Each structure stands twice: as C-alpha cells, then as structure tokens.
A and B are shown apart, each in its own frame.
Chain A
Amino acid sequence: AQTVTQSQPEMSVQEAETVTLSCTYDTSESDYYLFWYKQPPSRQMILVIRQEAYKQQNATENRFSVNFQKAAKSFSLKISDSQLGDAAMYFCAYRSARGAQKLVFGQGTRLTINP
C-alpha cells in the first residue's frame, strides 16, 4: 500500500519570505500523480498544485512550485513571497494512475505566516 509522510507538523515563515514544505511517499508504481491541498480554517480542501509522475518538469502555479524527485520519492512544496492568506494546513497526497482513484494523504503541515 502507498504511504505519504509529511515530517513537519508545523512550519512558520515571515510574510514575503519563502518556505518549503516536505513530503515523501512510498510506492512500487511508476505511474501516479501527486498533489498539494490547502485547508484553511474554513476547512474547505483546496487544490494548490498537481504533478504527473511521468513529467520531469516541476509544476508551478504562480507563487507555488514543487521540487519533484522521483527516484528519491520526494515531493516538496515551495511557497514564494508568503502572504497572510497562505496560512493553513497543507496536505500532500498521492493517487495511482491505474486502478484505485482514491487519494492517500499525508498527516499535514500547519503553516503559520508571521506579519
């Protein structure tokens, strides 16, 4: 079974600075997808960014980018120019490209933005 590990329960960053959230995963599959979801206090789960394992290029979405290291099974999220609205729980998630469509989530990292 696939597992996702986020080793940082909490992180904090000064507003306008850059922060990186870590995620590692374990799988025997070669074709899969990885996601970062954001959960603000409103508790709505919002997709931040996605990465297809077959793509070598790291995904970017405005101030959010990932560092995808397939061999190391690592998938970190970098937030540049942090804003107060970025404060939330961030979840890393894995989905197989074949068979089961379910998302397997990590434990989450609580990100605090200091003004």
Chain B
Amino acid sequence: DAGVIQSPRHEVTEMGQEVTLRCKPISGHNSLFWYRQTMMRGLELLIYFNNNVPIDDSGMPEDRFSAKMPNASFSTLKIQPSEPRDSAVYFCASSLRRRGSGELFFGEGSRLTVL
C-alpha cells in the first residue's frame, strides 16, 4: 500500500515567493496533520483536519500560512509570502480516527529553504 505522499521533497525559494506543499494521505484515513520540524523548536503541529474539516489551526504561525483539504485525498500547505525563518522540514501525516491507538503515518517530509 502507498504511504503518505508529499511533494516536493526539496524546495529552495527566495524570500517573498509563494510556496505550496502538497500531501496525499493514505487511502481510507480520515485525519490529516501538518507538522513543522526545526532544530530550535522540534516538531510542532501546525494544523489538523478530521474528515476534511480543519479542527485545530492554533499552531499556524501567522496569516502567511494557510492550509486546505478540498477532498479526502489531497491537502496543501501554502506560505505566502515566504520568509527565511520558514525554512524547515514540513511533514504531513494521516491516521484513521477511531477508538484505538490511531497511530500517525508520516510522509517523507518536504525540506523548505527560503533564501
């Protein structure tokens, strides 16, 4: 079975440019999460969706960040305009929301570098 698929794997852009990160969750999973990983702050939850509906976006740093999930098989995280401090690895993860451990399955991450 295909795991969580993220694209691009690497993105280098200049400050002020728009960045769009994409995620395809595991088929049948109904929860999707966007995490950011940096050396200074570790793994931070940015936003998560249940059944395509945003549930908690309190981790989104500021208005420059937005996330959408138009359907069960696709989500985007957009940064506009990007800044050097946005440089990080962005992970998408999905899970099946149910009683039980409901482990999160992670994609390989998108490494973003903003110059």
How many A residues face the partner with a CB closer than 8 A?
Answer: 22
Interchain nearest-CB distance for B65 vs A (Å):
17
A46 to chain B: which residues have CB within 8 Å? 106
- How many cross-chain pairs have Cβ atoms below 8 Å apart between A and B? 50
A33 to chain B: which residues have CB within 8 Å? 101-102
A45 touches B91 (CB 8 A): yes
How many B residues face the partner with a CB closer than 8 A?
Answer: 24
A50 to chain B: which residues have CB within 8 Å? 101, 103
B109 touches A108 (CB 8 A): no
B102 to chain A: which residues have CB within 8 Å? 33, 95, 101
A101 to chain B: which residues have CB within 8 Å? 31, 48, 50, 95, 97, 102
B45 to chain A: which residues have CB within 8 Å? 102-104
Secondary structure dominating the interface of A:
loop
B104 to chain A: which residues have CB within 8 Å? 45, 47, 103
B43 touches A105 (CB 8 A): yes
The answer to the question of B42 belonging to the interface, with a C-beta cut-off of 8 Å to chain A, is yes
The answer to the question of A100 belonging to the interface, with a C-beta cut-off of 8 Å to chain B, is yes
The answer to the question of B89 belonging to the interface, with a C-beta cut-off of 8 Å to chain A, is yes
B109 touches A43 (CB 8 A): yes
B56 to chain A: which residues have CB within 8 Å? 100, 102
**With A44-B108, A101-B97, A102-B48: A91-B103 Cβ-Cβ less than 8 Å:** no
Q: Which residues of A contact B (CB under 8 A)?
A: 33, 35, 42-47, 50, 52, 91, 95, 97, 100-108
Q: Which residues of B contact A (CB under 8 A)?
A: 31, 33, 42-43, 45, 48, 50, 55-56, 89, 91, 93, 95, 97, 99, 101-106, 108-109, 111
